[in-house]
């Protein structure tokens, strides 16, 4: 789907919850949590990411597609079949919901890569690189088709409307996930486009984002040097690609990535012991163009973790809470308390300091 939409500055609400023990929880709570922050959205976008929802297909790539026409669906399927076995192909179940109008054709596929594809491919090509390039191809080249998510045992459910209505529309109360993230959108103009809603995903990584990245211009040009095309013109796309670049291509550990994205101030760096100083200096020198400057609070999730982090002077809100094995993060404390009335601990996520929640090993 070509980038015909102007870049849209937006405000928003975010919420996320995970079980560190990998317990799967119904979508009811996350809908309630994001729904409480109704006034932080304006009805022009809402969405959810859910991990652990397809245990019966957990080795398959779960592709969630949005189609504007039967023709775009036909073209996409034809393209997918060249690379994958389409083990399951079905409409994403929805229910009629007031406030949700004109949805695109919503379809999902459970895909297995054809063995010969990687064999025939360039020997340096990793499976993940291939999947990313296929997703990019569909989004950019196939008219009217958009990949909402492409990871394993996870999915993104998003569209135009208030987030609680989107959750109801997609029947998320019927799914169970060990990580849920949600987003309510307040764009400052009207795209009316389902693909533009959050979460934004690539492979199993999803991003929900409240904020506007004032450094978007250089972040985008930096990514272009590595072959990423920022066609959706949303800040959030940039966040997802930066994380993808640094984790998948540069193989950097997550704490280094987050340090690059919300780097400490030089003043603070200068106070560190020399070895640590050298590391932080190098990160800022080399990844200066990846620094996300401007207000944001972001929840990034993948199949193993949920991470909340803010810009380095915390210009957008984020609160975290814990209760037993459950970890919560949200734009407002009320959005946590509405689903967890008596948390063990509640605290604000600090400026520039990520909160990393890991799913315990061996629990999945």
Partner 1 sequence: MNYLAPEFIHRIDKDKCRRCKRCILNCGFNALSFQDGIVADHSKCVACHRCVTFCPEMAITVEQNPLTYKENFLWTAQIQKNIQKQAQTGGILLTGMGNDKPYPIYWDHLLIDACQVTNPSIDPLREPMELRTYLGSKPEKLEFNQLPDGNVSLKTELEPQVKLDIPIVFAPMSFGSISLNAQKSLAKAAEQCGILMNTGEGGLHKELAPYGKNIIVQVASGRFGVDSNYLNAGVAVEIKVGQGAKPGIGGHLPGEKVSAEISETRMVPIGSDCISPAPHHDIYSIEDLHQLIFAIKEATNYEKPVSVKIAAVHNVAAIASGIVRAGADIIYLDGFRGGTGAAPYVIRDNIGIPIELALAAVDDRLREEGIRNRASLICAGGIRNSGDIAKAIALGADAVAIGTSALVALGCHVCQKCYTGNCSWGIATQRPELTRRLDPEIGAERLTNLVKAWAAELKEILGALGINSIESLRGSRERLRGIGLDQNVLDILGIKHAGK
**How far, in Å, CA of 325 to CA of 358, rounded?**
11
Q: Kindly tell me which of 92 and 136 has the beta carbon lying closer to partner 1.
A: 136
* Per-residue binder mask for partner 1 (CB under 8 A), 267-296, x = binder: x-------x--xx-xxxxxxxxx-x-xxx-
| 256 forms part of the interface with partner 1 (CB under 8 A) | yes
- Determine the interface stretch with partner 1 among 34-42, 69-77, 122-130, 215-223 (rule: CB under 8 A): 215-223
Q: Kindly tell me which of 70 and 188 has the beta carbon lying closer to partner 1.
A: 188
Catalytic residues: 12
Q: Map tokens 């009805």 to a residue.
A: 43
Enumerate the H helices of 89-192 as residue ranges.
115-120, 127-141, 163-169
Q: How many positions of this chain bind partner 1 (CB under 8 A)?
A: 46
Interacting residues with partner 1 between 234 and 253 (CB under 8 A): 249-253
Q: Using CB under 8 A, which of 55, 74, 127, 265 touches partner 1?
A: 265
Q: How far is the CB of 312 from partner 1 (least distance, A)?
A: 7
Q: What is the DSSP letter of 204?
A: T
Q: Report phi then psi at 266, rounded to 5.
A: -55, -40
Cβ contact 46:167 at 8 Å: yes
| 220 forms part of the interface with partner 1 (CB under 8 A) | yes
Let me know the angle formed at the C-alpha of 226 by 200 and 148, rounded to the nearest 5 degrees.
20
| 231 forms part of the interface with partner 1 (CB under 8 A) | no
* Contacts for 267 with CB less than 8 Å, ≥ 6 apart: none
| 9 forms part of the interface with partner 1 (CB under 8 A) | yes
* Nearest CA-CA partner of 107 in 139, 144, 141, 147: 147
Q: Using CB under 8 A, which of 63, 67, 170, 216 touches partner 1?
A: 216
Q: Using CB under 8 A, which of 313, 347, 358, 360 touches partner 1?
A: 313
**How far, in Å, CA of 46 to CA of 37, rounded?**
12
Residues that bind partner 1 (CB under 8 A): 9-11, 188, 211-212, 214-218, 220-222, 224-226, 249-253, 256, 263, 265-267, 275, 278-279, 281-289, 291, 293-295, 312-313, 315
């Amino acid at each position: 789907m070509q980038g015909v939409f102007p870049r849209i500055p937006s405000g928003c609400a975010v919420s996320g919850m995970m079980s560190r023990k990998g317990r799967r929880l119904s979508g009811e709570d996350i809908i309630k949590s994001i729904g409480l922050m109704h006034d932080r959205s304006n009805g022009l976008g809402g969405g959810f990411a859910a991990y652990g929802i397809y245990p019966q297909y957990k080795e398959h790539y779960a592709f969630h597609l949005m189609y504007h026409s039967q023709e775009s669906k036909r073209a996409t399927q034809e393209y997918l079949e060249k690379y994958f076995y389409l083990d399951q192909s079905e409409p994403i179940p929805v229910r009629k919901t007031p406030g949700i109008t004109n949805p695109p054709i919503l379809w999902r596929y459970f895909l297995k890569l054809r063995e010969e594809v990687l064999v025939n491919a360039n020997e340096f090509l990793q499976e993940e690189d291939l999947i990313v390039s296929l997703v990019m191809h569909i989004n950019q080249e196939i008219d009217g088709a958009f990949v909402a998510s492409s990871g394993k045992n996870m999915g993104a459910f998003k569209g135009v409307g208030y987030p609680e209505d989107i959750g109801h529309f997609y029947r998320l109360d019927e799914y169970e996930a060990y990580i849920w993230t949600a987003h309510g959108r307040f764009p400052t103009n009207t795209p009316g486009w389902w693909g533009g809603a959050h979460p934004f995903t690539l492979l199993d990584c999803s991003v929900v984002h409240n904020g506007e990245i004032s450094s978007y211009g250089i972040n985008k040009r930096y990514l272009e040097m590595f072959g990423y095309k920022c066609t959706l013109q949303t800040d959030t796309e940039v966040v997802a690609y930066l994380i993808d670049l640094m984790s998948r291509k540069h193989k950097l550990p997550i704490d280094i990535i987050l340090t690059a994205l919300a780097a400490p101030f030089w003043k603070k760096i200068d106070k560190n012991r020399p070895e640590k100083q050298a590391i932080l200096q190098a990160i800022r020198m080399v990844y200066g163009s990846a620094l996300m400057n401007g207000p944001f609070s972001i929840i990034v999730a993948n199949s193993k973790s949920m991470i909340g982090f803010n810009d380095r002077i915390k210009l957008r809100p984020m609160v975290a809470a814990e209760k037993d094995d459950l970890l919560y993060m949200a734009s407002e404390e009320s959005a946590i308390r509405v689903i967890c009335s008596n948390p063990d601990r509640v605290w604000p996520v600090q400026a520039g300091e990520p909160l990393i929640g890991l799913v315990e090993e061996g629990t999945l």
